Amino acid sequence: MNRLWWTQIKAVIRLELKKTFFAKRGLWIYAVAALPVALFVAYAIVMANHQHQSASIARQSQWALTRQDMLSIKAGMTKEEVIAILGKPPLDLQWTENRRVGPNATEQILREDFHYSDGLDNLYLGLQNGKVQNVMMEDANNFGQDAIMFAGVFQFFFLRLAIFFGCLGIFMNLFRGEVLDKSLHFYFLSPIRREVLMAGKFLAGLLATCTIFVTSEILQTVAFVWTFNPHVRDLYLYHHHGLEQAAIYVGVTVLACIGYGAFFLVAGMFFRNPIIPAAAILIWEGINPFLPAILKQFSVIYYLKSLCPVEIPVSPGTPSLFALLISNADPISPPLAIGGILAVAFIALFVSSVQVRRMEINYTTE
């Protein structure tokens, strides 16, 4: 790339960023990006409150409990055995239940719920007539389950909806918005190659979307790990690939902005109404798991799914249609996925560059 082109690209980026970052009509993109952050902040608040309750329950215990103490409780143990190990429950609930045992006979059942905590983990016991029937241990540091929850929000909301529609809002308007505002001639009257203009606009869109969505992604991660206490947080980040996963999520976010950005840039040149390409691309991305292998390669989500660090398990009993949507039946290696997404983006940008050369300023017919 020669120096003049780069100077021109920087000039385009400066102009476009002013429009992209401070446009009133783009405020909803910030809202969409902020939504998962709000979700994880809310989750963090709930978890903090929960931990506060756990600590409070632990303080009310007759003696300091350990995780091992709580794990030693098994179904079938008597109430007395439980109290011998864990002491009197800080929180308990008792009620009686009448159960019909014959045509005219009922049996009275005494039910009790005990709640113990060591300050982090919680133990919930269900007793029937003085015997332990249900044991539920709630781990404070359930990395696996929390990571799956984070992955679910990332894949099914952030990637497929927030970034998708955010890119639609920003990239589709790069050219189409200027045609609607009747201001595209400003660029077309300058001594700049149309391809260079397109590259400048794409990079400006990319910079804007990456800033918005990477910031959102980082804030989500911060809010998410905030729920762990410092010791658990360190354990998660440095010994359970938490930091590595966070970096991968940021990378996938950037690649999603590149892929969807290129798709919507080209769509903005061909369509006046953004709903048509948005619906078409959304459906195309949605039906990706059902497409033949060759067609799968022309979608963005196909590559992004393979790059996501945590796979979402399919629960038994999930309908096969949903199971297919959730699982990644045909994963590819990360280098291939990155190469694939860049190739798809390159094809879209090539089509854009051909189209931008053909564009005419003819606002009256728009």
Partner 1 sequence: MNDGIIFEDVSKFYGEILGVNRVNLSIPSGITGLVGPNGSGKTTLMNLMTGLVRPSRGRIQVLGIATDDSENLFRLVGYSTQFDAFPKGLTGFQFIYSYLCLTGTSQQEAERTAWQAIERVNLTDAASRKIAAYSKGMRQRIRLAQALAHNPKVLVLDEPLNGLDPLARSEMIALFRASAAAGCYVIISSHILHEVDVISDQVILLSNGYVVAEGQIQSVRNEIQEHPTQILIRCDRPRDLAAKLFQSEYMIEASIHNDGRGLLLKTRDADRFYLAMNQLALDGIQIESIAPADDDVLSVYEYLIGNEEVVR
Contact flag: residue 194 with partner 1 (CB under 8 A):
yes
Contact flag: residue 65 with partner 1 (CB under 8 A):
no
Residue 3 CB, nearest approach to partner 1 (Å): 8
Instruction: Count residues near partner 1 (CB under 8 A).
Output: 32
Residue 99's Cβ-side half-sphere holds a number of Cα atoms within 13 Å equal to 10
- What is the amino acid identity at position 84? A
Q: Using CA atoms, how far apart are residues 187 and 344, in angstroms rounded to an integer?
A: 27
Task: Tell me which H or E stretch contains 246.
Answer: helix 242-270
Give the single-character DSSP code of 78. Answer: B
For partner 1, what does the binding mask look like between residues 5 and 24, x meaning CB under 8 A?
Answer: --xx--xx-xx--xx--xx-
Q: Using CA atoms, how far apart are residues 94 and 87, in angstroms rounded to an integer?
A: 17
**For partner 1, which stretch binds (CB under 8 A), given 84-92, 117-125, 186-194, 338-346?**
186-194
Give the single-character DSSP code of 92. Answer: E
Among 40, 158, 164, 187, binds partner 1 (CB under 8 A): 187
Contact flag: residue 188 with partner 1 (CB under 8 A):
yes
Q: Using CA atoms, how far apart are residues 29 and 45, in angstroms rounded to an integer?
A: 25
Contact flag: residue 189 with partner 1 (CB under 8 A):
yes
**For partner 1, which stretch binds (CB under 8 A), given 238-246, 325-333, 344-352, 354-362?**
354-362
For helices 143-153 and 194-226, the axis angle rounded to 10 degrees is 150
Contact flag: residue 181 with partner 1 (CB under 8 A):
yes
**For partner 1, which stretch binds (CB under 8 A), given 40-48, 92-100, 285-293, 352-360?**
352-360
Contact flag: residue 131 with partner 1 (CB under 8 A):
no
Cβ distance 306 to 248 under 8 Å?
no
Nearest residue to 208 via CA among 169, 152, 249: 169
Interacting residues toward partner 1 by CB under 8 A: 4, 7-8, 11-12, 14-15, 18-19, 22-23, 181-183, 185-194, 196, 357-358, 360-363, 365
